Structure 1
Amino acid sequence: MVGALLVDSPIKLLEKLKYEVSQKSSSNSFPELNAVRDAYHLREWIWHHYLEGQVVMQQQMMGIEGNQQDWEYFINNQFPKFQILKELCNGSKHFILRKKGQIVRALESGWDNQEWDTLPWDADGFYVELSDSSVLSISELLEAICDFWDQLFKDHALI
């Protein structure tokens, strides 16, 4: 696989993701937006680099021989908030916000946000409100998916 700017393997993309997660800022969403895309695309990179056509590795990781759809199902079951990550990633590609899925709106704390003062949390950063009215920290979501990918790599000796 030919990568961009020396990011040419899932391991390198995981390193980039860890770096981006470490660069979080309460006033600049760019590192988190980059991390969202990398965290989401690791799913595809791992499939093509390690699992596609590799029955033994598929069985070792997923517990079954399967295809890319089985891999996606496995990831969604192992990390249930992956669908939120997918919505954020897809939303980063489109100018017009589509009103379907779990995300109702994105929120930014601080910076004289009038609405922020009425919400039930007290930390600067970026959040999404979900259809069940809960609020999810993007930083916490990214830290969790980074830990998930890191553990998957370690559990299967991919690092």
Structure 2
Amino acid sequence: MFGITTAKDFRSKASRDNAALQSDIANADYAINAVLSAYHLHEWVWGRSLKASSPISVRGTMLREKKDWVAWLDANFPHFSLLQDLANGSKHCVPVSAESVDGYGEGPWGIGPFGVPYLLIDLGSEKQVEDRWRVASDVLQDANDFWAELGAEFNF
């Protein structure tokens, strides 16, 4: 689609989307693009890369079907389920608890970059304070790093 035909092409697109967000960590447009690419890359990797080699061993786990791949990602990919929630929230226009922090004194104490605007994900008041918040650009950088490492390992 639009010249993106392989998992490697889509991983490159996801990396560019993340780079755009990292250049402006308060930009909601960049964040949504990065979320959608980082999450949907798993479908490209399965459909355009791993499926053709299945059954395939990924870091000691034998994958035979897409459900095995998704289960492996749930167990091994940092923030995979959070990315799924964010991607589905944007698709269905359902607000996922995320907000913009505009600067000094506006976000939770000790979270996010000091004194600059950024996007914050609230995982819910039922979480312990230290587990409640995620900085969107950090989550997406973790996802980008995960995909880059796995892509190098499996050539996508």
Contact 1:39-1:142 within 8 A present in 2 as well: yes
Contact 1:62-1:74 within 8 A present in 2 as well: no
1:40-55 equivalent positions in 2, closer than 5 A = 40-55=39-54
Q: 1:144 aligns with which of 127, 139, 142?
A: 142
CA separation of 1:40 and 1:54: change in aligned 2, threshold 3 A: same
The two structures, once aligned, show a CA RMSD in angstroms of: 2.1
Report the Cα distance in structure 1 between the residues aligned to 2:142 and 2:78, rounded to whole angstroms.
11
Gaps of 5+ in 1: 98-102
The alpha-carbon deviation at position 63 of structure 1 amounts to 2.4
Which residue does 1:117 correspond to in 2? 106
CA separation of 1:146 and 1:26: change in aligned 2, threshold 3 A: closer
Point out 4+ residue stretches in structure 1 off by more than 6 angstroms: none
Which residue does 1:100 correspond to in 2? none
Contact 2:78-2:142 within 8 A present in 1 as well: no
Sequence identity (%): 23
Report the Cα distance in structure 1 between the residues aligned to 2:27 and 2:59, rounded to whole angstroms.
36
Normalising by structure 1, we get a TM-score of: 0.81
Select the structure with the greater relative contact order (CA < 8 A; seq sep ≥ 6).
Answer: 2
CA separation of 1:29 and 1:8: change in aligned 2, threshold 3 A: same
Contact 1:109-1:124 within 8 A present in 2 as well: yes
CA separation of 1:124 and 1:53: change in aligned 2, threshold 3 A: same
Which residue does 1:94 correspond to in 2? 92
Which residue does 2:34 correspond to in 1? 35
Report the Cα distance in structure 2 between the residues aligned to 1:84 and 1:138, rounded to whole angstroms.
10
Gaps of 5+ in 2: none
Which residue does 1:69 correspond to in 2? 67
Q: 1:128 aligns with which of 121, 134, 144?
A: 121
Pairing 1:22–2:19 present = yes
